[in-house]
Amino acid sequence: MHILYDNHNHSQFSFDGKRTSVEESAAAARANGLAGICFTDHCDFYVPPMKAAFENLVPETFDVKAQQSEIDRVNALMSSNKKDSLRTDGEAATETAGQSRPDDFRIFKGVEIGMQRSCRDRIREFLAGNSFDEVIASVHYLDDTDPFYGGYYEGKDWKTAYGHYLETIYEEMTWLGDFDIMGHYDYVARYAPYPQASILYRDFGDIFDAILKYLAENGKAIEINTKTYQDYKGRTPVLDRHILLRFKELGGEAISLGSDSHDPKRPGDKFLQYAEFVRSLGFRHLAHFEGRRLVMAPIG
Label residue 57 by pLDDT band (50, 70, 90).
low
In this prediction the pTM is 0.92
Instruction: Name the residue ranges covered by the structural domains of the chain.
Output: 5-298
Residue 146 identity? D
Query: 296 pairs with which residues across the strands?
Result: 287
Q: How many Cα atoms sit within 13 Å of 53 on the Cβ side?
A: 6
Alpha-carbon distance of 122 to 263, in angstroms, equals 29
CATH class of 5-298: alpha beta
**Tens of pLDDT, residues 181-226:** 999 999 999 999 999 999 999 999 999 999 999 999 999 999 999 9
Average pLDDT over residues 28-36: 96
Q: What does residue 69 show for φ and ψ, rounded to 5 degrees?
A: -65, -40
Q: What percent of the chain has pLDDT over 90?
A: 81
**Tens of pLDDT, residues 66-92:** 999 999 999 999 988 765 544 333 333
Question: What is the pLDDT, as a whole number, of residue 98?
Answer: 42
